[in-house]
Amino acid sequence: MKKRKLGATLEVSEIGLGCMGMSFGYAPFPDKKDSIAVIHAAVEQGVTFFDTAEVYGPFNNEELVGEALAPFKGQVIIATKFGFHFQDGKMAGVNSRPENIRRAVEGSLQRLGVDVIDLLYQHRVDPNVPIEDVAGTVKELIREGKVKHFGLSEAGAQTIRRAHAVQPVTALQSEYSLWTRQHEQEIIPAIEELGIGLVAFSPLGKGYLTGKIDENRQFADGDIRKILPRFTEEARVANKALLDLLQQFADRRNATPAQIALAWVLAQKPWIVPIPGTTKLHRLTENLGAASIELTAEELQEIETASAHIHVVGTRYTEAMEKSTGL
């Protein structure tokens, strides 16, 4: 698989693997051995970029990723995240105070079984802590050899600029797909100017853009989609126009809608790296197949023109989630 560069120096596979759903957000979860098999298959198929976070679980997703990637030390890049307060083992709001960042990093190093964190993101901006203090703390951790690269997640343009002035930001991780494009207005131009890469999470719209989730799908307790406005039965019906568009190009290119959706993300900028998540081996292979699909300028314009007339129904998160963590 080809490589892409995030920031000035971090090279990763052009498609990464988001590991969150293996133990968080998308219940029911697979057996650990099955998740490890998917991670190993990803390595075998050329993936070098794996994404986790302290809050996934919490904690057990980092343990899973650390165990699975232990045989490949030095060959892969692991990204993780800090930024939450925990009470009784559960997430209890954002917390990016310097002492909490250091606590999180020590825990992540231990759970991942590594000596240094390749890419460390602030998971969500903490309105109570100046971003300069956050960037300064990570800068110290980089000097101490505990972290290699600094990242932000779901941060606004001004926050990114302020952080970058203290410690260069290697990557911004934010949601980006054919149905989540608000970052094109201010954020993507800002990070392009600053030389920061974009790691696109949910590039398949939390599974919707695969075309496999219809209005009859029932989500289990513990599946985040059960409460998201875009995944109500009405929204799933209303948003089928986007699936029809993807299917049209999938038929034309002998591909799947998921592959077209990922190929579209890859085609936007050479420094965008999507990290679709999956717990199934055949879906992993399908997703990685998108790397071999190069949409032409004419096809991209055709998608742009058609999608401009499609109104996506439903917000991506509930209002309360947007106000707090946006997870």
CA distances from 125 to 164, 187, 215, 301, 307 (A): 14, 15, 34, 34, 31
DSSP character for 245? H
CB 76 within 8 A of CB 48: yes
Q: Which of 107, 68, 104 is nearest to 84 (CA)?
A: 104
Do the Cβ atoms of 290 and 259 come closer than 8 Å? yes
How many residues in total does the chain contain? 327
Task: Read off the tokens for 65.
Answer: 């990723």
Radius of gyration of the CA atoms of the chain, in A: 19
DSSP readout, 153-177? ES--HHHHHHHHHHS-EEEEEEE-B
Judge whether 56 counts as a catalytic residue: yes
List 56, 121, 176, 317, catalytic entry: 56
Q: Which residues are catalytic?
A: 56
